[in-house]
Amino acid sequence: MINHMGRFLLFLLGLWVMGAGAATPEKVLHLELSAAETGFDPVMTSDLNTASIEQQLFESLLTYDYLARPVKLIPRLAAAMPSVTDQGRTWVFTLKHGVYFSPDPIFKGQKREVTAQDVAYTLMRFMDPKNRSPYKFLVEGKIIGLDELGEAARSSGHFDYDARIPGLEVLDRYTLKIRLKTTDYNFAHAMAQPMYGIVAREVIEGYAGDTASHPVGTGPYYLARWTRSSLMVLARNPNFRHEVWNFDPGNDPDNQRIAAQMRGKLIPQIDRVEIQVIEESQSAWLSFGKGELDMIGLAGQFAPMALRGAHLKASLAQRGIRLDRISDPSIAYYFINQQDPVLGGMSKEKIALRRAIFMAQNDEEMIRVIHKGQAVRNAYPIPAGVAGADPSYRSLLDYNPGEANLLLDRMGYARAADGYRRQPDGSPLAVRYTSSLSSQDRELDEMMKKALDRLSIRFESEKLKFPEILKAERQCRVQIRLSAWIADYPDGDNFMQLWYGPHTHENNGSCYQDPVWDRLYEKTLTMPDSPERDAIYHQLARMLELNGVTKVSTTHIRNVLSHPWVIGFKAHPILPSVWSLLDIDVSRVPQP
Partner 1 sequence: MSARASETSPGLWTLAWRRLQQDRVGMTALIVVGCYLVVVLLALMGWVAPDWTREVGVNYAPPVFWADDQDETAQPSQAGQALSGPVPLYGLQDPLATELAAIRAQHPGAQEATEVPRRLSLPLGGDKWGHDVLTKVIKGSETSILVGLVAAILATLLGTVMGAVAGYFGRWVDDAFNWLYGVFTAIPYLLLVFAIAAVLQQKGVVTLVLILGLTGWTGVFRLVRAEYLKHKSREYVLAAGAMGASHMRRMFVHILPNTSHVILVQLSQNVVGFIKSEVILSFLGFGVPVDVVSWGSMLNEAQNELILGKWWQLAAAGVAMAILVTAFSMLTDALRDALDPKLKY
Q: How many CA atoms lie within 13 A of 251 on its CB side?
A: 0
231-236 and 272-277 beta bridge pairing: antiparallel
Q: Smaller CB distance to partner 1: residue 138 or 408? A: 408
User: Taking CB under 8 A as the rule, does residue 455 contact partner 1?
Assistant: no
User: Taking CB under 8 A as the rule, does residue 28 contact partner 1?
Assistant: no
What letters, b where the CB count within 10 A reaches 16 and e where it falls short, cover 183-219? bbbbbbbbbbbbbbbbbbbbbbebbeeebbebbbbbb
- The identity of residue 157, as a single letter, is G
Q: Give CA–CA dist 338/341, Å, rounded.
A: 8
User: Taking CB under 8 A as the rule, does residue 586 contact partner 1?
Assistant: no
Distances (CA, A) of 512 to 21, 382, 536, 550, 591: 59, 18, 18, 10, 54
User: Taking CB under 8 A as the rule, does residue 254 contact partner 1?
Assistant: no
Query: Smallest gap, in angstroms, from Cβ of residue 527 to partner 1?
Result: 16
Distances (CA, A) of 230 to 32, 271, 274, 276: 10, 20, 11, 6
78-86, 204-212, 344-352, 417-425 -> range binding partner 1 (CB under 8 A) = 344-352
**Region for residue 39 given its phi and psi (left: phi exceeds 0; alpha: psi -120 to 50; beta: otherwise):** left
Return the residue of 131, 261, 400, 423 that touches partner 1, per CB under 8 A: 400
Q: Give CA–CA dist 520/501, Å, rounded.
A: 12
CA 532: distance to chain centroid?
A: 28
Return the residue of 214, 422, 449, 558 that touches partner 1, per CB under 8 A: 449
Query: Smallest gap, in angstroms, from Cβ of residue 368 to partner 1?
Result: 7
**Region for residue 6 given its phi and psi (left: phi exceeds 0; alpha: psi -120 to 50; beta: otherwise):** alpha
Return the residue of 406, 414, 416, 586 that touches partner 1, per CB under 8 A: 406
Return the residue of 265, 372, 471, 505 that touches partner 1, per CB under 8 A: 372
Return the residue of 271, 324, 390, 453 that touches partner 1, per CB under 8 A: 453
CB 548 within 8 A of CB 336: yes
For residue 411, which of 333, 461, 348, 319 has the smallest C-alpha distance? Answer: 348
Return the residue of 120, 198, 357, 411 that touches partner 1, per CB under 8 A: 411
Query: Smallest gap, in angstroms, from Cβ of residue 351 to partner 1?
Result: 6
Query: Smallest gap, in angstroms, from Cβ of residue 291 to partner 1?
Result: 17
Q: Give CA–CA dist 238/520, Å, rounded.
A: 49
Please give the residues from 483 up to 542 whose contact with partner 1 meets the rule CB under 8 A. Answer: 535, 538-539, 542
User: Taking CB under 8 A as the rule, does residue 290 contact partner 1?
Assistant: no
User: Taking CB under 8 A as the rule, does residue 214 contact partner 1?
Assistant: no
Per-position x/- string for 166-185, each x denoting binding to partner 1 as judged by CB under 8 A, each - no binding: --------------------
User: Taking CB under 8 A as the rule, does residue 396 contact partner 1?
Assistant: yes
Please give the residues from 534 up to 553 whose contact with partner 1 meets the rule CB under 8 A. Answer: 535, 538-539, 542-543, 546-547
Return the residue of 437, 519, 522, 588 that touches partner 1, per CB under 8 A: 437
Distances (CA, A) of 57 to 94, 224, 231, 234, 399: 21, 11, 16, 8, 44
User: Taking CB under 8 A as the rule, does residue 265 contact partner 1?
Assistant: no
Q: Is the four-CA dihedral 103, 104, 105, 107 of positive or negative sign?
A: negative
- The identity of residue 281, as a single letter, is S
User: Taking CB under 8 A as the rule, does residue 450 contact partner 1?
Assistant: yes
User: Taking CB under 8 A as the rule, does residue 80 contact partner 1?
Assistant: no
Q: Give CA–CA dist 144/123, Å, rounded.
A: 12
Return the residue of 25, 166, 250, 304 that touches partner 1, per CB under 8 A: 304
Return the residue of 111, 164, 257, 368 that touches partner 1, per CB under 8 A: 368
User: Taking CB under 8 A as the rule, does residue 399 contact partner 1?
Assistant: yes
Q: Give CA–CA dist 297/295, Å, rounded.
A: 7
Residues comprising the chain, all counted: 592
146-154, 259-267, 270-278, 389-397 -> range binding partner 1 (CB under 8 A) = 389-397
Return the residue of 407, 525, 575, 589 that touches partner 1, per CB under 8 A: 407
Show the CA angle centred on residue 464, arms to residues 462 and 468, nearest 5°. 125
Residues that bind partner 1 (CB under 8 A): 281-282, 285, 301-302, 304-305, 348, 351-352, 355, 362, 364-365, 368-369, 372-373, 394-396, 398-403, 406-407, 410-411, 437, 439, 442-443, 445-446, 449-450, 453, 459, 461, 463, 535, 538-539, 542-543, 546-547
